[in-house]
Amino acid sequence: MAERKPVTSRDVAKHAGVSVATVSYVINDGPRPVSPETRAKVEEAIEELGYFPNELARSLTRRQTATIGLMVPNLKNPVYAEIAESFESVCTASGYTVMLTGTDRDPAKEHKLAETLRSKQVDGVVILPSEEPFPFLQLFQQANIPMVVLEHDLADTHCIVIDDRQGGRLAMQHLLSLGHRRIALLQRETLSPHGHLRGVGCREVLEEAGIPFDPDLVIVGKAGQAAGYAAMQQWLTLPDPPTAVFAHNDMLAVGAMRAVFDAGLMVPADVSVVGHDDTTIIDYLNPRLTTVKFPVVEMGRRAGQMILESVQQTESLPAQTVTLPVELVIRASTAPPPTC
């Protein structure tokens, strides 16, 4: 059996009775205009022959690959999955393909993935890095690849953050308003300086209320439900355990709630729990979780818009940091402490 050769633009031109240049004008929508009749003939020939343009050749001509890189810690956390989904919808609507990678918050893996995306000549990249400093960002800077960084506020770089300080304040103000005074803070390790502002906001509110800060009620642990479970177990062994917990994210909060139940206690009758993010997982909890709403979809959408603007501009845009607002969503996991 003879080997089937790939269809070329010359084959399309011959089939349509036009020049190769005209086929190129139709495929690339320019630079010269093509009459509707001629365009219809070329498009019909493309469909009949099953022709697919050589994307590598087109990217060399345009000096763009129509691809955008997205680096997130992982897709197990619903927050990152929702950011990716929102981001991809913006990019694909503008004709760009998203190359999604998970870093596992491993600096060595981040660097390796950055090298890969640079070698693929992505037009731009959006990154949610682990912790500063970020030497791998230089790989994109040296290649003049536009970047947007999420959840970090860096100089001379387009960034998108949320109002973490306000998130911490909202959670603590809510718990104080219910009468809680023994409030535990469950933080996640390897946070960005911006992420630490959630704890700063909590302590500000305690100080304003004249409540002494108790270091025994602060645990910094790993991400995930297991870390939340272990932290809650540790607090429940204290002579005076907390009556409420504010967790850095919903996943930690879920683990803390399970530890309360396994100890024979109830949420919120014995311990109130507040999370952060408002992820889809909390729709299936009982009781449903009070949480600080992270504008997940908006972050993905704004990141897509920002990177596309940077990619499509002939001149670099002045770096800016966009801060997205948060809000407290009160549900059934918080109530006055049992002594009230």
Specify the pTM. Answer: 0.78
The residue behind tokens 């504008």 is: 295
Contact between 201 and 168 (Cβ < 8 Å): yes
The residue behind tokens 């109830």 is: 266
Residue 59: predicted pLDDT: 47
Tens digits of pLDDT across the chain (340 residues)? 344 567 788 888 888 898 888 888 887 766 778 888 888 888 888 888 777 665 444 444 445 678 999 999 888 788 899 999 999 999 999 989 999 999 988 888 998 999 999 888 899 999 998 776 678 888 888 888 999 999 988 888 999 999 999 999 999 999 999 999 999 999 987 666 677 899 999 999 999 999 998 999 999 988 889 999 999 999 999 999 999 999 999 999 999 999 999 999 999 999 999 999 998 878 888 999 999 998 999 999 999 999 999 998 867 778 899 999 999 999 999 999 997 5
Write down all domains in the chain, each with its CATH number in brackets.
9-42 (no CATH), 67-162+296-327 (3.40.50.2300), 164-295 (3.40.50.2300)
Residue 65: predicted pLDDT: 79
- DSSP annotation of 333: S
Residue 30: predicted pLDDT: 67
Cα distances from 86 to residues 91, 93, 264, 301, in angstroms, run: 9, 11, 40, 6
Question: No. of H helices and E strands in the chain?
Answer: 12, 12
Residue 198: predicted pLDDT: 92
Which is it for the CA torsion 203, 209, 215, 219, positive or negative? negative
Residue 142: what are its φ and ψ, rounded to 5°?
A: -65, -30
Residue 10: predicted pLDDT: 86
CB-based contacts of 112, cutoff 8 Å, min separation 6: none
Taking the CA of residue 6 as centre, how many other CA atoms within 13 Å lie in the half-sphere pointing to its CB?
6
- d(CA 13, CA 5) in angstroms, rounded, equals 16
H, E, C per residue of 153-192: CCCCCEEEEECHHHHHHHHHHHHHHCCCCCEEEEEECCCC
Residue 192: predicted pLDDT: 66
Q: Which among 213, 156, 152, 210 is positioned nearest to 182, based on CA atoms?
A: 213
- d(CA 102, CA 122) in angstroms, rounded, equals 16
Residue 191: predicted pLDDT: 60
User: Pairing relation of β-strands 290-293 and 327-329?
Assistant: antiparallel
6: cis peptide before it, omega within 30°? no
Instruction: Indicate the angle between helix axes 197-208 and 164-177, nearest 10 degrees.
Output: 40
What's at 283, amino acid-wise? D
Residue 58: predicted pLDDT: 47
Contact between 306 and 148 (Cβ < 8 Å): yes
Contact between 160 and 321 (Cβ < 8 Å): yes
Q: Which among 248, 274, 238 is positioned nearest to 196, based on CA atoms?
A: 248
Cα distances from 236 to residues 154, 216, 257, 270, in angstroms, run: 39, 12, 12, 11
